[in-house]
Structure 1
Amino acid sequence: MKTITLREAFDWIYLEEQLTKVEWEHLTQFLEQKYKGENVVEYGNRRLRFINMVGVIQLKTVRVEILPKLDLDQEEMVLNRRALLNMLSLTKQLPIQLNDRTLSQFENFDLTHVLAFLYITELFKAVKRGLYRSYTTKSENINHLKGRLLVSPHIRKNAFTSVHAFCEFDELSPNVPLNQVLKVALNIIFPFVKYSALKTQTFMILEMLDEVDDCALNTTMLDHIQINRQNQHFEPVFQLALAIIRSTMMTTGANSQIAFSFLFKMNDLYEGYVGECLKRVLAPTGLKLELQHRGRKLLVDMNTGRETVQLKPDFVVSRWEKGIPEPIVILDTKWKNFLYRSQPSDIYQMYAYITSYETAERCIILYPKVNENSVFPRWRVPGSSSVKQIEVHTIRLDRIMNTIEDLEKILKNC
């Protein structure tokens, strides 16, 4: 199977050079149907690239993997894939915790393989501990009395066969919704498994799930599956199964080439990741962290006297003063490369924040670290009663501990 790996908002996919006309049509139809009206694709002359979108799109004959653009020099994509897996793991978009060892193991494999490997190995571990079974109600014509006799169907079925009884009874069975979901997800991901060891594990799991029906799933069924003490060891792999199932494209009509997609908006993923890291940094300090803060408005309408133009910084860090949180640092994430002379809109936005939050002393823009530049601009707000400043910083995304270390340095002495 052909695999195309590219960097979001950087690399292009070309018609005929990389995709056949049929593959191109199916890919563009999928993007137009799923992301209609959203600015996630830029089209050029017989080419396209993804904007603010990472993940994988799996067609029948080609796999398109979109990675963050952190390493712009190397072709191996190792740093980019490691950063994506790191962010997906911490934000629970990939509901399996990955440590440095597993990140190193997966950074050379495309995202479809990583997803398949994680799901199959975690499912194999879970089912080896024993399948989850629950009582289900069955109605069956059997040769002995069991449960309660259903008189009307018994008469219809057994008027001339006295040795049978049509009964309704409860039976402990593995054919329950949880196991059905696990089997459906396994069948979705199995066609894209490349390695014999994973295929062997898959066949062993399917043999264990032999009594579990293949069934069509719907949202209501998924929402009603309960995790309890008896099946809690299945929870991580169940969450991974849901991620696989919910990312599946229902193959209909002209789009039957689409197998599944596993895509994430990079702005949201980056913001969520930074938020999780900030929680860890600030937990020992006693400072309060607020996400998507809505406590200030920019202007006052002179006709009505009402405040207008809602401000919504990504993060506000506050200290407690007489039981009331007092904002001291405002942080905003920007998923793009920092270019000193080409980002005035970001600075204007930070100026609005720092002047509207009277007690805030620092306003920080956080960009992803792309190169080794270590000196970034800082501005003082003129005319402010206290020393207010706007700062630019970058943070590493390849490992959680690197991100936390960078944030600790940035927020030192808060």
Structure 2
Amino acid sequence: MSEQITVREHARLTTAEVPASAVNTARVPASAFEWLVAENVRLRGLGNGARLVELESRRELRLDNYVGVLESPCGTRIEILPKTLESDYDITAGRSLLQRMLARCLDLTSRQSSLTSLRTFDMPLTEWVAGQFLQVVDHLVKRGLRFDYHPVQGDLCYLRGRLLVARQIRQPPGRAHYFQVEHDVFDADRAENRLLRSALDVIRKRTREPKHWRLAHELAHHLREIPPSQNQPEDFRRWRDERLMAHYAPLRPWVSLILHEQMPLTVAGTTQGQSLLFPMERVYEQYVGIGLSQKLPLDAKLTKQAASQYLTRHREQNWFQLRPDFLIELGGQRIVADAKWKLIDANLSSSGEKYGLSHADFYQLHAYGQKYLGGKGTMYVFFPRTSKFSEPLPPFHFDRDEQLTLHVLPFDLEACGPVALP
């Protein structure tokens, strides 16, 4: 029997009894617990360093900083939402926040996911993805699928197209009355439509929402003549972005997400269930980048993940590449900016508490300032805005001459922008 569990990132999962309303701790069946442990080992074995959970005891584990949905083979669906600082965690607000951030990161149009619909949408993440995908497909089918010519070879009892002479000569005597020909067919069997059909098949099998199930089967009837993709990586490479295919552009993020193509945010999906996982740090980093690109002046140049500097040289080689999240060039000056998905408290202002800031983060930012700014200039670091961190902190100086200054700024997740830039 399927079971729905909603928690937030870094929550603890246990096989023991816990309060039903807890979002920091939840009880899962023993089968789901064992599957999570095994899945964590599998992901680590892929060599990408991904850690899904941390085993704390034989009956308890802690989730890492991934958000999204995990579905175990036994039918247990675990929805993981972003962690906030508020004591009374609002599941609907957390779900809406994640959907809004993903909508921005996937570069969706307002027709596909307006802010109003995101605020009121209270379905689990996978059903939200299904609903958004089906809306785009429905719009595409009503507008019309893209057809194209492609060659087809076969043996016909009449001559059509080009005769394949070599194959015709090798015909056995009993089939001499058939023609080996090659001709062009004008139909919807092209890479984009095959991927669309494959993604629709996934949604049709996995959705549990009645209206999504009905729409998915209705759309499947319209696409019944299109075969599913047999080579998804190759079909993604053949996806065309020309002018005549512009109405397919809103569809690609959803198809890519559902089929687990190489998206910058997703982690490899599991063989059982429809699992969508996103590293929250990277989601936040992309979200901040989108907000900065909208708030900066038009003449500013924003470079994401600059990678031109290294920490050291050794044996005539550069070692330890330094990659700040953002490098801003404006008016002949450079500004280094970084995004940190951590919750800090402006009230913890003593030298011992340090607002909850990390030593390692400041060492990292100091290295960025030395290598990218030459030890002189301005840096920004953006933390999520919360009720305990709503205004910029006093500036930090890395030297007595105050030539290298760091501004710690809150980033408004609702408005997708920094609260204030110095």
Question: What range is the shorter-chain TM-score in?
Answer: 0.7 to 0.9
Question: Structure 2 CA distance, aligned partners of 1:23 and 1:206?
Answer: 32
Question: Structure 2 CA distance, aligned partners of 1:79 and 1:121?
Answer: 23
Q: 1:25 to 1:217 in 2, by over 3 A?
A: farther
Question: Structure 2 CA distance, aligned partners of 1:80 and 1:71?
Answer: 11
Question: What TM-score do the two structures reach when normalised by structure 2?
Answer: 0.80
Q: How many Å apart are 1:141 and its aligned residue?
A: 3.7
Q: 1:54 aligned to 2:67? A: yes
Match of 1:101 in 2: 116
- Do the aligned partners of 1:71 and 1:370 also contact (CA within 8 Å) in 2? yes
- Do the aligned partners of 1:290 and 1:315 also contact (CA within 8 Å) in 2? yes
Question: Structure 2 CA distance, aligned partners of 1:26 and 1:306?
Answer: 44
Deviates further, 219-228 or 175-184: 219-228
Alignment-mate amino acid for residue 44 of structure 1: E
Q: Deviations over 1:71-118 (max 9, x none)?
A: 543344223222222222222277885331221243x11110011111
For 1:33-72, what aligned pairs fall within 5 Å after superposition? 33-36=42-45, 37-45=49-57, 46-60=59-73, 61-70=75-84, 72=86
Alignment-mate amino acid for residue 6 of structure 1: V
Alignment-mate amino acid for residue 290 of structure 2: E
From 347, 365, 373, the equivalent of 2:381 is: 365
Question: Structure 1 CA distance, aligned partners of 2:278 and 2:107?
Answer: 9
Match of 1:336 in 2: 342
- Do the aligned partners of 2:106 and 2:253 also contact (CA within 8 Å) in 1? no
From 320, 324, 329, the equivalent of 1:313 is: 324
- Do the aligned partners of 1:113 and 1:192 also contact (CA within 8 Å) in 2? no
Question: Structure 2 CA distance, aligned partners of 1:71 and 1:79?
Answer: 13
Q: 1:306 to 1:179 in 2, by over 3 A?
A: closer
- Do the aligned partners of 1:123 and 1:237 also contact (CA within 8 Å) in 2? yes
Q: Gaps spanning 5+ residues in structure 1: where?
A: none
From 65, 71, 87, the equivalent of 1:73 is: 87
Q: How many Å apart are 1:16 and its aligned residue?
A: 6.0
Match of 2:224 in 1: 210
Question: Structure 1 CA distance, aligned partners of 2:38 and 2:28?
Answer: 14
Match of 2:104 in 1: 90
Q: How many Å apart are 1:13 and its aligned residue?
A: 1.8
Q: 1:167 aligned to 2:213? A: no
For 1:325-404, what aligned pairs fall within 5 Å after superposition? 325-327=332-334, 329-339=335-345, 340=348, 341=353, 342-345=356-359, 346-354=361-369, 357-358=373-374, 360-374=376-390, 377-381=393-397, 384-386=400-402, 388-398=404-414, 402-404=415-417
Alignment-mate amino acid for residue 239 of structure 1: P
- DSSP 3-state at the match of 1:73: coil
Q: How many Å apart are 1:148 and its aligned residue?
A: 2.5
Match of 1:225 in 2: 239
Q: Deviations over 1:14-59 (max 9, x none)?
A: 2365332322222322222124443442222222232221122233
Q: Gaps spanning 5+ residues in structure 2: where?
A: 18-26
- DSSP 3-state at the match of 1:225: coil
Q: How many Å apart are 1:368 and its aligned residue?
A: 1.0
Q: How many Å apart are 1:291 and its aligned residue?
A: 3.0
Match of 1:24 in 2: 33
Q: How many Å apart are 1:223 and its aligned residue?
A: 1.4
Deviates further, 177-186 or 17-26: 17-26
Question: Structure 1 CA distance, aligned partners of 2:8 and 2:175?
Answer: 72
Question: Structure 2 CA distance, aligned partners of 1:375 and 1:227?
Answer: 43
Q: How many Å apart are 1:298 and its aligned residue?
A: 6.3
Match of 2:15 in 1: 15
Match of 1:411 in 2: 421
Match of 2:301 in 1: 288
Question: Structure 2 CA distance, aligned partners of 1:198 and 1:176?
Answer: 25
Q: How many Å apart are 1:388 and its aligned residue?
A: 4.9
By relative contact order (CA 8 Å, sep 6+), the higher-ranking structure is: 1
Q: 1:102 to 1:154 in 2, by over 3 A?
A: farther
- Aligned residue pairs: how many? 391
Q: How many Å apart are 1:306 and its aligned residue?
A: 10
Question: Structure 1 CA distance, aligned partners of 2:36 and 2:71?
Answer: 9
Alignment-mate amino acid for residue 101 of structure 2: M
- Do the aligned partners of 1:71 and 1:77 also contact (CA within 8 Å) in 2? no
- DSSP 3-state at the match of 1:211: coil
Match of 2:24 in 1: none
Q: How many Å apart are 1:196 and its aligned residue?
A: 2.6
Alignment-mate amino acid for residue 315 of structure 1: F
Q: 1:130 aligned to 2:144? A: yes
Q: 1:410 to 1:156 in 2, by over 3 A?
A: same
